[in-house]
Structure 1
Amino acid sequence: MPTLEQAYEDGGSGELSAPRLRVDTPERAGLDPTELGHLAREVRDLTTGDRPWAAGVVVVAGRGPVIAVREAAGWAVRYTAYDPQSDAGVEPPRAARVPMTVDTPFDLASLTKLFTSVAAVQQIERGTLGIDALVGAYLPEFRAAAEHGITVRQLLTHTSGLRPELPLYACADDTARLALLRAEAPVEPPGTHLYSDLNMLLLQFVLERITGRTLDVLVHEGITRPLGMTATAFGPCPDAAATEDQRRPWAKADRGMVRGVVHDENAWALGGVAGHAGLFGTATDLAIFCRTLLAGGAYGPARILGPDFVELLLTPPGLGFAVDQPWFMGELAGRGAAGHTGFTGTSLVLDPATDTFLVLLANTVHPRRRPPDSGPRAAAATRLARAVRDA
């Protein structure tokens, strides 16, 4: 495989240009076709049976600039509702279901956090945001965060001590939601790791304060538009895979079968644009995102980050990204693999050590949420790791 320096080509303008992704054979990517065949078959099997792991799945995986696996299986919409009495989904006639395709958009859930993190590191690179600056310096009205000395780095590394979430969906209006966030104090001493959606919500407010632009604009102008990720945006997204028949008591709101509108109740209450959830996108678009980071922040003629700042983003413990987590990265974990999962069934992993990437998108909460099971994610990542030929 080429080195990072060798991976750049002259795009005809006299400037260096990073190769774009192309679909090709496993052999062209330096990957074993037998292992990838097992990966594709096992992913397809995840959608079979009366109680499948997911109603539908899309997987895109590859190495370097080559997509070597691009598969879809199952259904984007399989159920019209969830029946609590039978503990099963209500299925319409087969002709009324919507099949999954490789181009089906998904509610990306917490994969949104990765885009918020990249947007923050872009501001760090520009010098408009200090990584160790106090959140209170930018948001003095967030008095609890200011009083406890929470920093930008702590938001990015989930070490602010803030609780995982707040019931913003239960507030009467935006004024009440904002008051709740401003008054929220850490439940653990700052510096303690505690994964929290609130970190990315506060980071969203910081970014919007220092730039004067909303998060959806920052993501579009700074990430998705320059990279050509035309299928990735905050919702609504009418053609997306369906998520949950969202009703109490298993959910936090009564919304019925959710499709094309953000599943996360807090992001929904905030209007669909939130630092922790709200983006919709396709597996191919996320492969571009992975490839960009593996190539040091560049894709085609576009550069969204410098290599040093990509390294900052992915160096353990990671800024927004989880690093070396075998529970969903399988055997890719161990040498600096980075990625994230999302509650709706989404995940991605990129491994700089082998220049590989894996995007696995599924609607595991369709027709209703279940206890999380990341075994299939780890198994797929292990197949990819074992497919790597020469490092």
Structure 2
Amino acid sequence: MRLPALLLVTFMAMSAAPAHADPSTGRFDRPHAGFSPAWTTLHPGRLEAGPIDAALERVRGYTDVDAATGHPLFSGAVTLMVHDGAVVAHRPAGWAVRYSDKTTELPVERRVPMAEDTIFDLASISKLFTSIVVMQQVDRGRVRVDQPVSRYLPEFGVNGKADITVEQLLTHTSGLEPYLPLWQAWPDVPSRIKAVMDVAPKTPPGSTYTYSDLNLITLGVLVQRVSGSPLDRLVRDGITRPLGLVDTGYNPPAAKLDRIAATEYQPNTSRGMVRGTVHDENAWSLGGVAGHAGVFSTARDLAVLGQAILNGGTYDGHRILRPKTVERMLTDFNTEFPGNAHGLGFELDQRWYMGALSSPRTAGHTGFTGTSLVLDPMSRSIAILLTNRVHPSRDWGSVNPARRAVADGLAKALAVRPQRGPDAWTPSTSGATLTTGDLPGARRVSFDAFVDLDVGDGVVLQAGDGTTWRDLTTLTGTGTRTWKRVDVAVDANRLRWVYTRGTGYGGRGVYLDGIRVLGDRGTLLDAERNPEALTSAGWLRVNR
């Protein structure tokens, strides 16, 4: 079975001390190489409160009416953050039901507030459930990802699709177009499924990355064919039941309606305000159970699933996937398509919603209804934001700023500890400079650097006379999360470090420590002993 030529990470089951004894706990600058210990389960815990509280307040603020638009960014949300199994934040905000139609707000007494156990339509996060079921069939030997889909679904192998593989469906490299209006253009479930089986590729299979609902709809049909069981039963028996996810599944029962967040006002489907049935029109037209959408869940249930993935496929003694299978789901198979890293199911390294938790190993998915799940194996952390951003309208804007705020808040709550002495230098503004005084006879400068920045951000070490400057070296880095020692030859009277913020989404930040300048006769500057010898414009001394 084919694996990518370049594996970005090798995950291994780890035999280690319990998580609470791990010196890396609470640290951003001590990345883990493998899975969390298999015994890790969710439990109450704490991290640095400031960044987390700030993120939670930003999420809450998005539920307020914006004066410029006349409406909130989203009606309500539930945020959940986990580090090393410890639930460090779990907070509702706003309203699960706020509107009676596309423009009319309900009186406060008729609204339904968000709660920790509010049930959300996960939208495309459902694709992860389908992908897990597919990989369970791989574990059972019923499916091979390198084989043509037509081996399992002969009717799919028409109109140029005979060679499309299961892997290409999982990684969105099949060439299929993103969407078909199944609910409008075809009259019933059999004809809608046939339309997906019959569709021709939009681009040659394997030539491009194109995110497509049709890929996962096809996989939902495939797992039913090879197993003899419908997708909802496979999800129930293979995921939700063993993991104890009591509020997760398709077509939630009417008894839970009072806990379900409303989605969109849809007069075009004759459903009015959608609540308790799947928002996605195609999934709705397929009976609420489809490979691309349809799963409902709570933040807590989704966190359990996320922890099972971080644990290598197991939670509380119940295994749903083999460790090697999880490894493949979290390994980039799309190295030919930079910016579209994708494992066998999970998206990887997508800073636009993963924020400062981004790295080549960070996995997750989003959903059109305003949901997101981010799993960071390097810090063993989970960031979940569930919103009903389509309530009452899908046209009110993107929730990506809120998604990044949650991921950033969790990342910033994890410490970057100074390497030498009690503190290190970090910039607080774009264009910040950290400058030495006159250092006649300077020959070498060395310092420790931690750099976790977005593309376009950087720190430049410059040499000069205080008036003119020339670049010596540029510090960049994304996703490595480790300190490194920098040693540079110099021939100048002064040195300075200039931080520039680019136009991207940022990262965990940059830190300088242990700055030391040597001349022919020894040390000219030891900033650990004499930090006042550095002049700061926008750099701060911090201890984390």
- Deviation, 1:144, is 2.3
The 8 Å contact of residues 366 and 372 in structure 2, kept in 1 or not, is answered as: yes
Q: Which of 373, 378, 384 lines up with 2:404 in the alignment?
A: 378
Indicate yes or no: 2:137 matched with 1:117: no
**Deviation per residue, 1:67-108 (Å, 9 max, x gap):** 0000001000000101xxxxxx21122111001001000001
Distance 1:48 1:222, change over 3 A: same
Indicate yes or no: 2:271 matched with 1:255: yes
1:323 corresponds to: 348
Indicate yes or no: 2:309 matched with 1:302: no
Q: Which of 193, 198, 201 lines up with 1:178 in the alignment?
A: 193
The 8 Å contact of residues 351 and 358 in structure 2, kept in 1 or not, is answered as: yes
Q: Which of 274, 291, 298 lines up with 1:282 in the alignment?
A: 298
Match of 2:319, as an amino acid?
R
- Deviation, 1:386, is 1.5
Q: Which moves more between the two structures, 56-65 or 34-43?
A: 34-43
Structure with bigger gyration radius: 2
Indicate yes or no: 2:162 matched with 1:151: no
Q: Which of 241, 260, 280 lines up with 2:261 in the alignment?
A: 241
Secondary structure class of the residue paired with 1:81 = coil
The 8 Å contact of residues 136 and 320 in structure 2, kept in 1 or not, is answered as: yes
Distance 1:205 1:7, change over 3 A: farther
Match of 2:97, as an amino acid?
V
- Deviation, 1:146, is 6.8
1:66 corresponds to: 86
Name the structure with the higher strand share.
2
1:387 corresponds to: 413
- Deviation, 1:260, is 0.4
Matches for 1:155-174 after TM superposition, within 5 Å: 155-170=169-184, 171-174=186-189
2:457 corresponds to: none
Indicate yes or no: 2:141 matched with 1:127: yes
**Inter-partner Cα distance in structure 2 for 1:146 and 1:135:** 12
Indicate yes or no: 2:40 matched with 1:19: yes
**Deviation per residue, 1:209-232 (Å, 9 max, x gap):** 110000001111111110111110
Q: Which moves more between the two structures, 316-325 or 280-289?
A: 316-325
Matches for 1:258-277 after TM superposition, within 5 Å: 258-277=274-293
Secondary structure class of the residue paired with 2:201 = coil
- Deviation, 1:203, is 0.5
**Inter-partner Cα distance in structure 1 for 2:135 and 2:159:** 20
- Which structure 1 residue ranges, 4+ long, deviate > 4 Å from structure 2? none
Distance 1:149 1:67, change over 3 A: same
1:40 corresponds to: 56
**Deviation per residue, 1:290-324 (Å, 9 max, x gap):** 11111111110101112111110011121121100
**Inter-partner Cα distance in structure 2 for 1:225 and 1:168:** 31
**Inter-partner Cα distance in structure 2 for 1:290 and 1:260:** 24
The 8 Å contact of residues 134 and 146 in structure 1, kept in 2 or not, is answered as: no
Secondary structure class of the residue paired with 2:155 = coil
Name the structure with the higher helix share.
1
**Deviation per residue, 1:111-132 (Å, 9 max, x gap):** 0000100111111122111011
**Deviation per residue, 1:4-59 (Å, 9 max, x gap):** 422679xxxxxx96232012222xxxxx2211111221121121125111100000
The 8 Å contact of residues 7 and 18 in structure 1, kept in 2 or not, is answered as: no
The 8 Å contact of residues 136 and 145 in structure 1, kept in 2 or not, is answered as: no
Indicate yes or no: 2:26 matched with 1:6: no
- State TM-score, norm by structure 2: 0.65
The 8 Å contact of residues 335 and 353 in structure 1, kept in 2 or not, is answered as: no
**Inter-partner Cα distance in structure 1 for 2:412 and 2:109:** 39
Distance 1:138 1:7, change over 3 A: farther
**Inter-partner Cα distance in structure 1 for 2:404 and 2:165:** 33
**Inter-partner Cα distance in structure 2 for 1:335 and 1:384:** 18
Aligned length: 368
Q: Which has the higher contact order (CA 8 A, sep 6+)?
A: 1
**Deviation per residue, 1:259-299 (Å, 9 max, x gap):** 00000000000000000000000000011011111111111
Q: Which of 203, 221, 232 lines up with 1:205 in the alignment?
A: 221
1:216 corresponds to: 232
- State TM-score, norm by structure 1: 0.90
1:86 corresponds to: none
**Inter-partner Cα distance in structure 2 for 1:55 and 1:193:** 33
Q: Kindly report the root-mean-square deviation, in angstroms, between the aligned alpha carbons of the 2 structures.
A: 1.7
Secondary structure class of the residue paired with 2:158 = helix
**Inter-partner Cα distance in structure 1 for 2:282 and 2:107:** 33
The 8 Å contact of residues 197 and 218 in structure 2, kept in 1 or not, is answered as: no
Match of 2:303, as an amino acid?
A
Distance 1:274 1:7, change over 3 A: farther
